[in-house]
């Protein structure tokens, strides 16, 4: 039984099909990438899984349980954590307090929440920033805080929405190493959507590609990188034809 099963998920917005009968499975312990051009439907698919949108058609199962139409707090209780492209963190709170918000999803007392938050902060090398306000920190550290908040909810499946957006090349490298370290340290399954190929290609075991709301490809990173449909979606028909003439497809 797969950890996450998405079957025929469809979502429409005023006549625009954002997700069109999308199906795939993610096994426990996998790292799966989700890529596609702008407007491909990646964030909509994430939102249908975690409960910000209810699919118009299809089902989402997690750990064998049908969670289609569950609210975000319900999917979180089931064991799905999620970061955001635009982070849901409070600049009025310290780093410790923000991460404790995540811990309170599992515990009810402050002492336990603080203990859980501190363990996560140590893992993400945030302990030195514990008393800092979010507005005082660079974007790379803020991204780690958003990641820490999601980890503090103790997810089985961690869904990462463009966790490297806005980072420079060095920070991107550090984020890749951090994600690999988290994966090894925690009993986690990762589902990563990214525009930054330097993040998704090195860490993913399989990659799912969306274009125009449809799944157009699924496979190993090296196969996806050479898939004509994927190249066409990202670079256009002319580029594909030029590659054919050069004999590189």
Beta-carbon contacts of residue 74 (< 8 Å; ≥ 6 apart): 51, 67
- Nearest partner of 204 among 224, 186, 187, 227, judged by Cα: 224
Using the 8-state DSSP alphabet, how is residue 92 labeled? Answer: T
| Residue 103 · residue 113 · CB < 8 Å | yes
Each residue of 229-249: b (16+ CB within 10 Å) or e?
ebbbbeeeeeebeebeeeeee
CA 45 – CA 213 distance, rounded (Å): 9
Sign of CA dihedral 206, 210, 216, 221: negative
| Residue 210 · residue 48 · CB < 8 Å | no
Residue ranges per domain, the chain? 1-79+156-172+188-249, 85-154
- What pTM did the predictor assign? 0.89
pLDDT given for residue 86 in this prediction: 62
Beta-bridged to residue 94, according to DSSP, are 133
- Nearest partner of 63 among 142, 157, 132, 150, judged by Cα: 157
pLDDT given for residue 89 in this prediction: 58
CA 38 – CA 130 distance, rounded (Å): 35
Q: Where are the alpha helices (DSSP H) in 4-138?
A: 42-50, 72-78, 95-103, 110-123
Relative to beta strand 206-211, strand 214-219 is antiparallel
Count of CB atoms within 10 A of residue 4's CB?
23
Q: Could you say which residues of the chain have pLDDT below 70? A: 86-91, 235-249
CA 67 – CA 138 distance, rounded (Å): 36
Reduced to 3 states (helix: H, G, I; strand: E, B; else coil), residue 48 is: helix
CA distances in angstroms from 93 to 11, 125, 131, 139, listed in the order given: 36, 18, 9, 16
CATH of domain 1-79+156-172+188-249: 3.40.50.300
| Residue 146 · residue 88 · CB < 8 Å | yes
| Residue 132 · residue 115 · CB < 8 Å | no
CA 120 – CA 127 distance, rounded (Å): 9
């Amino acid at each position: 039984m797969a950890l996450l099963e998405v079957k025929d998920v469809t979502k429409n917005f005023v006549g625009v099909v954002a997700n069109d009968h999308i199906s795939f499975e993610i096994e426990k312990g996998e790292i799966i990438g989700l890529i596609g051009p702008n407007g491909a439907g990646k964030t909509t698919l994430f939102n249908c899984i975690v409960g910000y949108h209810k699919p118009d058609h299809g089902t989402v199962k997690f750990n064998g349980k049908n969670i289609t139409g569950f609210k975000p707090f319900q999917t979180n209780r089931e064991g799905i954590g999620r970061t955001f492209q635009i982070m849901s963190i409070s600049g009025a709170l310290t780093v410790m307090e923000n991460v404790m918000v995540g811990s309170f999803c599992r515990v009810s007392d402050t002492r336990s929440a603080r203990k859980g938050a501190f363990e996560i902060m140590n893992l993400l090398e945030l302990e030195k920033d514990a008393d800092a306000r979010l507005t005082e920190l660079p974007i790379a550290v803020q991204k780690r805080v958003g990641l820490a908040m999601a980890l503090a909810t103790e997810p089985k499946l961690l869904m990462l929405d463009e966790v490297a957006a806005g980072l420079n090349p060095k920070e991107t490298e550090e984020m890749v190493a951090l994600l690999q370290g988290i994966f090894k340290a925690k009993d986690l399954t990762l589902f990563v959507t990214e525009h930054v190929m330097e993040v998704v290609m090195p860490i993913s075991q399989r990659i799912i590609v969306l274009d125009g709301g449809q799944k157009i490809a699924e496979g190993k990173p090296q196969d996806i990188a050479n898939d004509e449909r994927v190249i066409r979606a990202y670079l256009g028909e002319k580029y594909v034809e030029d590659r054919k003439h050069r004999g590189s497809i």
